[in-house]
Amino acid sequence: MRPTCTKMQKKANRTRKIVLVVHGPNLNLLGTREPKIYGRETLAQIDARLQAAGRRAGVDVRCFQSNTEGALIERVQAARDEAVRFIVINPAAYTHTSVALRDALTAVAIPFVEVHLSNVHAREPFRRHSYFSDVALGTICGLGSLGYDLGLRFALERVAGK
Catalytic positions: 38, 116
Choose among 113, 92, 101: nearest CA to 156. Answer: 113
Full strand arrangement of the beta sheet holding 86-90: 60-65, 18-23, 86-90, 112-116, 138-141
